[in-house]
Amino acid sequence: MSDFTSGFWNIYIGIITIVSIIACAVLLKALSTRKVSGAQVETTGHAWDEDLVELNNPLPRWWIWLFYITIVFGLVYLALYPGLGSFSGSYGWTSKKQYEEEVAKAEALSAPIYDKYAKTDLKQLASDPEAMAIGQKLFLNNCAQCHSSDARGGKGYPNLTDNDWIYGGAPETIEETIANGRKGMMPAWGALLGDDGVKDMAHYVMSLNGGTYDSLRAARGKDKFMTTCIACHGPEGKGNQAIGAEDLTKPNLLHGADEPSLIETISKGRTSVMPPQKEALGEARVHILAAYVWGLSNSPAATAPPAKTGGQ
């Protein structure tokens, strides 16, 4: 398929390519038929160090033939592979097809490995060192760009190692999060509360999560919290995992717990997106990743079969 929006460019590029190749051939022919007259070889007329001159011999035959071969190669290539405007080549090769074939080959090789784990219970899987090594690799390739390579996240990207969950930490819930993604939407309150009202609210949130706060502002904020915010964050500010409204009583808030961050969060709102992985990675990999993530905060040893004792 061509990316050009008009048919003109296809033809334009095709013609330029063909004309250039023909021009090369003609030039080559003209040069190779030039005869050297007698034993007297022309010089270029340049002289260095008094008597050092540059001869102007025609190119050697074998050299000329190499050029002809490249021209033939070019023409054959253009007939077989895409290269001339939108002409797709008689061989039907596309980079997409090649990529898909390679992916299918790799899938066929790895499928039995993943199938082995797909039916294993998540907690049991988390105590299988081999599966967790695969899980870590998958995590580094697909998740580390947002959650960081040690899974501790950063501002706006949750820490996955602390057993403190926005959407819930049951193994099945984690699998659901990874497979289908999540989207947390906190509306903007700036227009409703005004600058001062937002600041009061920020101080109330700081009073909930152990920050230093102005008690007068916090008291004013609390009144409004009870009417404006409890629908999602609950009367005690402990949040709601079903919609991903964070627990505001914990010290490490996702978007920051200092006054400027809270003012920004409350006045402008926040939207956080965890992209769904089921399509891209397939259920088997998601299963391993869920076990890996669950294992990060729940010592796999806790669920491993009791270690054999004796023999000492």
Binding site for ligand HEC (CB under 6 A): 142-143, 145-147, 157-158, 160, 165-167, 174, 177-178, 182-187, 189, 201, 205, 225, 228-229, 231-233, 243-246, 248, 253-255, 262, 265-266, 270, 272-275, 277, 289, 293
Least Å distance, CB 273 to ligand HEC, is 6
Residue closer to ligand HEC by CB (options 85, 239) is 239
Q: Which residues contact 142 (CB under 8 A, 6 or more apart)?
A: 277, 280, 281, 289
Residue closer to ligand HEC by CB (options 9, 250) is 250
Residue closer to ligand HEC by CB (options 57, 141) is 141
Q: What's the CA gap between 286 and 105, in Å, rounded?
A: 20
Look at strands 52-55 and 43-48 and give their pairing.
Answer: antiparallel
Least Å distance, CB 289 to ligand HEC, is 4
Cα dihedral value 276, 279, 280, 285, nearest 10: 90
Least Å distance, CB 95 to ligand HEC, is 25
Q: Tell me 157's DSSP state.
A: B
Least Å distance, CB 60 to ligand HEC, is 59
Segment 298-306 long-range contacts (CB within 8 Å, at least 24 positions apart) = 298/123, 298/126, 298/163, 298/169, 300/126, 300/127, 300/132, 301/127, 303/123, 303/124, 303/126, 303/127, 304/127, 305/127
Nearest Cα neighbor of 239 from 136, 158, 119, 121 is: 158
Residue closer to ligand HEC by CB (options 88, 261) is 261
Least Å distance, CB 105 to ligand HEC, is 23
Q: Can you read off the two tokens belonging to residue 268?
A: 């402008």
Least Å distance, CB 26 to ligand HEC, is 56
Residue closer to ligand HEC by CB (options 82, 234) is 234
Q: Can you read off the two tokens belonging to residue 182?
A: 């999540």
Residue closer to ligand HEC by CB (options 78, 188) is 188
